């Protein structure tokens, strides 16, 4: 296969995606990176959309064998941010003119939790409307699998984006990573519910899981295309030593994981073109410039942590997750300098909705809110 020819193609086959994911020569990686960046610029432009990320609770009813906040990890001190704590994170996000917030937590389906989320979403909408942003902050939720009715309540409260990772599109691998209560089909059903309600949907996978193959990853990319997702958040798998998968992952190679993560971002950009792709913290864990590298391989979204520092240590999904004080002005200024050094800048005071969703809606006969 000829890389330059493949990179010129409009659509890539599974075999071609595998070929790209198997690249190792620096010269080839450089070509891939340049093509991914060009695709980003052609479809979206060079702006970076920022979302303030609030990890507001680590209580979780799931027992995923890779995740540090799994129910069975008794070493993890559990927390739920109070409404005032969440709103003070939101104040910081408004002050920074980020325009979008992501509320993420462990998975709970009890009424108290659902009502709490609804109330928080409504309150954020109410307090964030101003002259510059008459529609208030854009709100993304990432609180796991819920019923259709719950998703509808979240949407009616004012959330308009939802992140729910498929983790892997290989149903056998999925089964081996999750408890028997967590069915692969349910995850897909939830993504469809969210789409039907009108949410912009985001999904993603972990990259480099033990026993995951390059074909699996190529299938993940095709899965995203097939599901017509609007947003993508993927990151390398990183062992957490208080989890069943973490203790057996002793041949972990950070350099390879990082490269594979970057190649996945690039190939996702080439295939999915106009979706929003996040450069995730997991990349930063593997390399201090990992997040910038993700942007250079085609990502266009960054989610600085707005979670209060005292809780961050209890939201460690994997080992060595950086506990950086991103509310510190010096850290924020450095981030902006890093962006400008690679010819990019932050799009302030705009929700930064995925172009993919906007195009989809423009061609759909049914009018939906949040035009």
Please give the residue ranges that form the binding site for ligand 5AD (CB under 6 A): 66-67, 165, 167, 206, 235, 237-238, 240, 282, 317-318
Of 8, 100, 153, 150, the C-alpha closest to 354 is 100
Cα–Cα distance measured from residue 361 to residue 371, given in angstroms and rounded to the nearest whole number: 8
Q: How far is the CB of 236 from ligand 5AD (least distance, A)?
A: 6
Of the pair 67, 221, the CB lying nearest ligand 5AD is at: 67
Of 163, 291, 173, 171, the C-alpha closest to 229 is 163
Of 315, 73, 65, 72, the C-alpha closest to 182 is 65
Cα–Cα distance measured from residue 138 to residue 51, given in angstroms and rounded to the nearest whole number: 9
Q: How far is the CB of 140 from ligand 5AD (least distance, A)?
A: 13
Of the pair 44, 64, the CB lying nearest ligand 5AD is at: 64
Of the pair 39, 140, the CB lying nearest ligand 5AD is at: 140
CA distances for 24 relative to 16, 175, 262, 263, angstroms: 15, 31, 12, 10
Q: How far is the CB of 207 from ligand 5AD (least distance, A)?
A: 8
Of the pair 94, 117, the CB lying nearest ligand 5AD is at: 117
Q: How far is the CB of 35 from ligand 5AD (least distance, A)?
A: 27
Of the pair 272, 282, the CB lying nearest ligand 5AD is at: 282
Of the pair 97, 244, the CB lying nearest ligand 5AD is at: 244
Cα–Cα distance measured from residue 360 to residue 215, given in angstroms and rounded to the nearest whole number: 28
Q: How far is the CB of 303 from ligand 5AD (least distance, A)?
A: 11
Residues 6+ apart with CB under 8 A from 24: none
Reduced 3-state DSSP string for 299-350: CCEECCECCCHHHHCCCCCCCCCCCCCCCCHHHHHHHHHHHHHCCCEECCCC
Residues 6+ apart with CB under 8 A from 198: 155, 160, 368, 369, 370
Collapse the DSSP code of 269 into the 3-class scheme (helix H, G, I; strand E, B; otherwise coil) and give the result: helix
Q: How far is the CB of 206 from ligand 5AD (least distance, A)?
A: 5
Cα–Cα distance measured from residue 169 to residue 44, given in angstroms and rounded to the nearest whole number: 27
Q: Nearest to ligand 5AD by Cβ — which residue?
A: 318
Q: How far is the CB of 238 from ligand 5AD (least distance, A)?
A: 4
Q: How far is the CB of 16 from ligand 5AD (least distance, A)?
A: 26
Question: Is the separation of the CB atoms in 208 and 246 below 8 Å?
Answer: no
Of the pair 107, 353, the CB lying nearest ligand 5AD is at: 107
Of the pair 174, 318, the CB lying nearest ligand 5AD is at: 318
Of the pair 76, 128, the CB lying nearest ligand 5AD is at: 76
Q: How far is the CB of 218 from ligand 5AD (least distance, A)?
A: 18
């Amino acid at each position: 296969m000829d890389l330059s020819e493949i990179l010129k193609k409009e659509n890539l086959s599974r075999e071609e995606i595998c070929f790209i994911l198997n690249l190792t020569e620096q010269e080839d990686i450089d070509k891939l990176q340049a093509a991914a960046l060009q695709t980003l610029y052609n479809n979206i432009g060079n702006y970076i959309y920022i979302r303030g990320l609030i990890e507001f609770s680590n209580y979780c009813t799931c027992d995923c064998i890779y995740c540090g906040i799994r129910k069975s990890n008794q070493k993890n001190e559990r927390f739920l941010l109070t409404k005032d704590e969440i709103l003070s994170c939101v104040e910081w996000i408004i002050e920074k003119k980020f325009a979008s917030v992501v509320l993420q937590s462990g998975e709970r389906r009890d009424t108290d939790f659902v009502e709490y989320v609804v109330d928080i979403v409504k309150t954020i909408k109410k307090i964030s409307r101003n002259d510059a942003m008459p529609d208030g902050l854009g709100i993304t939720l990432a609180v796991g699998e819920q019923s259709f009715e719950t998703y509808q309540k979240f949407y009616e409260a004012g959330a308009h984006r939802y992140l729910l990772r498929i983790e892997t599109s290989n149903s056998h691998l999925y089964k081996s990573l999750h408890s028997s209560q967590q069915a692969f089909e349910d995850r897909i059903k939830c993504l469809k519910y969210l789409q039907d309600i009108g949410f912009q949907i985001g999904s993603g996978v972990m990259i480099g899981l033990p026993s995951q193959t390059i074909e699996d990853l190529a299938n993940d990319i095709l899965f995203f295309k097939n599901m017509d997702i609007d947003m993508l958040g993927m990151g390398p798998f990183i062992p957490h030593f208080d989890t069943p998968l973490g203790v057996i992952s002793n041949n972990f190679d950070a350099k390879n994981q990082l490269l594979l993560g970057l190649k996945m971002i690039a190939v996702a950009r080439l295939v999915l073109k106009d979706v929003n792709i996040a450069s995730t913290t997991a990349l930063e864990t593997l390399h201090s410039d990992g997040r910038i590298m993700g942007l250079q391989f085609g990502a266009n979204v960054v989610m600085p942590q707005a979670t209060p520092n005292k809780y961050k240590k209890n939201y460690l999904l994997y080992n060595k997750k950086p506990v950086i004080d991103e509310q510190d002005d010096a850290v924020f200024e450095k981030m902006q300098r890093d962006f400008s050094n690679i010819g990019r800048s932050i799009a302030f005071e705009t929700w930064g909705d995925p172009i993919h969703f906007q195009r989809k809606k423009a061609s759909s006969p049914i009018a939906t809110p949040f035009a």
